[in-house]
């Protein structure tokens, strides 16, 4: 039986450590035969990403700060110069100041609001613009979101608003890139213990509530998100674009 992503090249942005969802997705893509290109932010992260990439069998490691247009241009030019054609792009990048997550949304600072929007939402637009010319045969762009984009989740605050912008961006990008046969989707994962999630106050309470009330009566596993990402990246998901796919043990259907 052939692998679902055999012969495809995937650019993955946002691996921070082995607990990150981007790492789980990279594992699943590699399992299904994809060639992996990983990015890192600065020298401090380079060593970690290279170590994890060696474990994954990644072929290349490239620097990229998504808030810098020059970095994205250099990334695209490096790939173009190497004759690389991209089939899949994974955008797993988000950030908000800890102080803006720990106080009421009403008290969000202007700078904190703009920072969360730039890193967590606008970066998808910038990445898609840089990657699309390298996707000559079409392909899939995937990002990660959360239920806090459409419902108020205690202590998610400014990040929830940024994720709402991210989900809207998915829809508009899907429309713009559809004629090029590039699909754009998001996975809304249930709460998972990642490094970024630890920045949310009382996160363990969120995990406990989901495990108690979700239809499957448990939390989401990273591998479940990764397998859904494979579906969206492969021919199995060829008719799906502009969508938010919930992988959260069914929690989003519940009302309280």
What is the residue extent of each domain of the chain?
A: 9-249
Query: What does the alpha-carbon distance between residue 26 and residue 182 come to, in Å, rounded to a whole number?
Result: 20
The answer to whether 250 and 214 have CB atoms below 8 angstroms apart is yes
Which stretch of 79-93, 180-194, 221-235 has the lowest confidence by average pLDDT? Answer: 180-194
41 band by pLDDT with thresholds 50, 70 and 90 = very high
Rounded Cα–Cα distance for residues 74 and 80 (Å): 10
Spatial CB neighbours of 100, under 8 Å, sequence gap ≥ 6: 108, 109, 112, 113, 116, 157, 158
pLDDT for 138 beyond 90: yes
pLDDT at 202 over 90: no
pLDDT above 70: residue 227: yes
User: Which pLDDT tens digit goes with each residue over 232-245?
Assistant: 999 999 999 999 99
Residue 208 has pLDDT above 90, yes or no: no
189 is written with which tokens? Answer: 């994962």
- Residue pLDDT, tens place only, 80-137: 999 999 999 999 999 999 999 989 999 999 999 999 999 999 999 999 999 999 999 9
Strands 35-40 and 60-63: parallel
What per-residue confidence (pLDDT) applies to 114? 98
Contact of 234 with 58, CB cutoff 8 Å = no
Question: What percentage of the chain reaches a pLDDT higher than 70?
Answer: 95
In which order are the strands placed within the sheet that holds 244-247? 60-63, 35-40, 9-13, 88-91, 139-145, 182-189, 244-247
Active-site residue, selected from the candidate residues 29, 40, 156, 246: 156
Highest mean pLDDT among 17-21, 36-40, 194-198: 36-40
Query: Rg of the Cα trace of the chain?
Result: 17
pLDDT grade for 1, boundaries at 50, 70 and 90: low
Per this entry, what is the length of the chain?
Answer: 256
122 belongs to the catalytic site: no
Residue 198 scores a pLDDT above 70: no
pLDDT value for 205? 79
Residues 6 or more apart from 146 whose CB is under 8 A from it?
Answer: 153, 156, 159, 160, 163, 188, 189, 191
Selected catalytic residue, list 29, 146, 172, 246: 146
Fold of 9-249: Rossmann fold (3.40.50)
pTM listed for this prediction? 0.94
Of 41, 133, 49, whose CA–CA distance to 86 is shortest?
Answer: 133
Categorize the per-residue pLDDT at 197 as very low, low, confident or very high, splitting at 50, 70 and 90. low
Please tell me the least confidently modeled range out of 120-129, 201-210, 244-253.
201-210
Q: Which residue has the higher pLDDT, 233 or 43?
A: 233
CA distance to 63, 106, 221, 233, 244, per residue, from 205 (Å): 36, 22, 17, 33, 25
For 86, residues 6+ apart whose C-beta sits below 8 A from its C-beta are: 9, 10, 11, 79, 131, 134, 135, 139
Dihedral-angle region of residue 137 (phi above 0 means left; psi in -120 to 50 means alpha; beta otherwise): alpha
Residue 206 pLDDT level (bands cut at 50, 70, 90)? confident
What is the reported pLDDT for 151? 95
């Amino acid at each position: 039986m052939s692998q679902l992503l055999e012969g495809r090249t995937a650019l993955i942005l946002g691996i921070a450590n082995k607990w990150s969802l981007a790492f789980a997705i990279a594992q699943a893509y590699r399992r299904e035969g994809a060639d992996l290109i990983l990015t890192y932010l600065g020298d401090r992260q380079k060593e970690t990403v290279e170590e994890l990439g060696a474990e994954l069998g990644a072929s290349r490691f490239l620097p990229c700060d998504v808030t810098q247009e020059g970095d994205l241009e250099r990334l695209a030019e490096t790939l173009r110069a190497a004759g690389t054609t991209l089939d899949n792009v994974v955008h797993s990048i988000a950030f908000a100041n800890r102080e803006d997550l720990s106080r009421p949304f009403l008290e969000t600072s202007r700078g904190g609001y703009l920072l969360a929007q730039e890193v967590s939402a606008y970066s998808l637009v910038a990445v898609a613009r840089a990657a699309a010319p390298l996707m000559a045969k079409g392909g899939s762009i995937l990002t990660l979101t959360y239920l806090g984009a459409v419902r108020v989740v205690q202590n998610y605050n400014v990040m929830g608003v940024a994720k709402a912008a991210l989900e809207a961006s998915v829809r508009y990008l899907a429309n713009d890139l559809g004629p090029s046969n590039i699909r754009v989707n998001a996975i809304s994962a249930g709460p998972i213990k990642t490094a970024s999630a630890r920045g949310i106050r009382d996160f363990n309470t969120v995990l406990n509530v989901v495990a108690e009330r979700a239809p499957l009566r448990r939390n989401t596993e990273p591998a479940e998100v990764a397998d859904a990402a494979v579906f969206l990246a492969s021919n199995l998901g060829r008719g799906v674009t502009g969508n938010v796919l919930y992988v959260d043990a069914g929690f989003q259907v519940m009302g309280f």
